[in-house]
Amino acid sequence: MAKRILITGHRGYIGSVMVPHFLKAGYEVHGADTGFFERCVLGPGGEEIAGHSVDLRDGLTARDLEGVDAVIHLAALSNDPIGNLNERWTREINGGATVRLALLAREAGVARFLFSSSCIMYGASGGGTSEVDENAPLDPRTQYARSKVDAENALRPLASASFSPVYLRNGTIYGLSPRMRFDTVLNSLAGSAVAMGEVRVFSDGKPWRPVVHVDDVCAAFQSALEAPREAIHNEAFNVGAAMVNVQIGALAHHVAEVTGADLELLAQPDADQRTYRTSFAKIARHLPDFRLQWSPRAGAERLVREFRALGLSRGQFDDTRFTRLRWLRKLLEEGALGEDLRWRRQPQAAGHATESELREVTA
């Protein structure tokens, strides 16, 4: 009988790729999602599955999780600009709702709880000159980063002989998704190159980042789900391999070279200068079945091909739906979401991104 899993945030950027990944692998997949980004659709794809349309702050019960073998918890307010918009929302959703869900899962007899964490918690650890592993000092510089640290710390004491939390610290994710985002660095660079013929980097290009394809993230979660308990129980893993550590400037140069787009390094003093290179030795030891498929260079070339095949236009690239902060602001401004970030009514049509909002992405 297929393992039954629940994926939260299944209608989001990662979830829309992860659901078909696990269906193809033979799993019975269910979902839970509040639907903030359900309308943020760029192209075809994704799978319709049985799911709960709920706010995870209070919308599920232990009974809803009975018979579930594992929970993959993706749902979150998912980047720094959103976290800075309202710190209370980030604490409630990324922190409190995560712990509540884990407690319900443990009560329902769920064996594994895979938490989608982030390498952003390393901040400027190592200064880009040395690799940081899972035991490195943490340097969370934003509310989003702090929310991931706080959630991991709150989940660890919940581990038991029958309940195994796992913390998968993703790098900066890129790649095509049915519910696309252009507010992650490589998606933004490649999208701008194809749609507008230009690549702009607002920093000096020197910061290091681990840049990981969404398909590889899905594969890492599957490896953690299928690994022996002793390999993953209450453990944190940086998701990737050595080749994903790349300087933003080098990545931008490659995208410009592949597309023929104009490249501009603006070196603005207010650009994000956090820099960290990540060690992936632990995931290689504990999850030997996990094999990274996409280097940033090859992944960038794939992304360019996919955007060209879609005929990506400037209007699509600038569309409000594909920048998460702008989409949430729109929902708030038109009254679809209330001040507690809960639904009041359904949203209207989208708009386009401004240069200041793009600057938050392509640091």
- Is the pLDDT at 81 greater than 80, yes or no? no
> Which pTM does this prediction carry?
0.93
Mean pLDDT of 53-69: 96
Q: Are 8 and 74 in contact (CB under 8 A)?
A: yes
- Is the pLDDT at 330 greater than 70, yes or no? yes
Q: Are 305 and 23 in contact (CB under 8 A)?
A: no
The tally of CA atoms less than 13 A away on the side-chain side of residue 287 is 26
In b/e form, how buried is each residue of 63-77, taking b as 16+ CB within 10 angstroms?
A: ebbeebbbbbbbbbb
Per-residue confidence (pLDDT) for residue 308, from 0 to 100: 98
Per-residue confidence (pLDDT) for residue 356, from 0 to 100: 42
Q: Mind listing the pLDDT tens digit for each residue in 210-223?
A: 999 999 999 999 99
Mean pLDDT of 305-317: 98
pLDDT-based confidence at 153, cuts 50/70/90?
Answer: very high
Mean pLDDT of 137-166: 96
Domain span at residue 240 reads 4-359
- Is the pLDDT at 350 greater than 60, yes or no? no
pLDDT-based confidence at 2, cuts 50/70/90?
Answer: low
pLDDT-based confidence at 86, cuts 50/70/90?
Answer: confident
- Is the pLDDT at 123 greater than 80, yes or no? yes
With CA atoms as reference, report the closest residue to 153 among 106, 117, 109. Answer: 117
Q: In percent, how much of the chain has pLDDT > 90?
A: 82
Q: Are 159 and 186 in contact (CB under 8 A)?
A: no
Per-residue confidence (pLDDT) for residue 355, from 0 to 100: 41
Arithmetic mean of pLDDT over the chain:
92
- Is the pLDDT at 142 greater than 80, yes or no? yes
Q: How far is CA 88 from CA 5, 57, 83, 127, in A?
A: 29, 12, 9, 30
For residues 160 and 84, the model is more confident at: 160
Per-residue confidence (pLDDT) for residue 314, from 0 to 100: 98
Mean pLDDT of 151-178: 98
Q: How many CB atoms neighbour CB 83 within 10 A?
A: 25
Number of domains in the chain: 1
Per-residue confidence (pLDDT) for residue 334, from 0 to 100: 95
- Is the pLDDT at 270 greater than 90, yes or no? no
Residue 92 has what DSSP assignment?
I
| CATH number where 124 lies | 3.40.50.720
The tally of CA atoms less than 13 A away on the side-chain side of residue 263 is 19
For the record, the structure tokens of 156 come out as 């660890």
With CA atoms as reference, report the closest residue to 36 among 327, 339, 334, 242. Answer: 327
Per-residue confidence (pLDDT) for residue 11, from 0 to 100: 96
Mean pLDDT of 74-90: 85
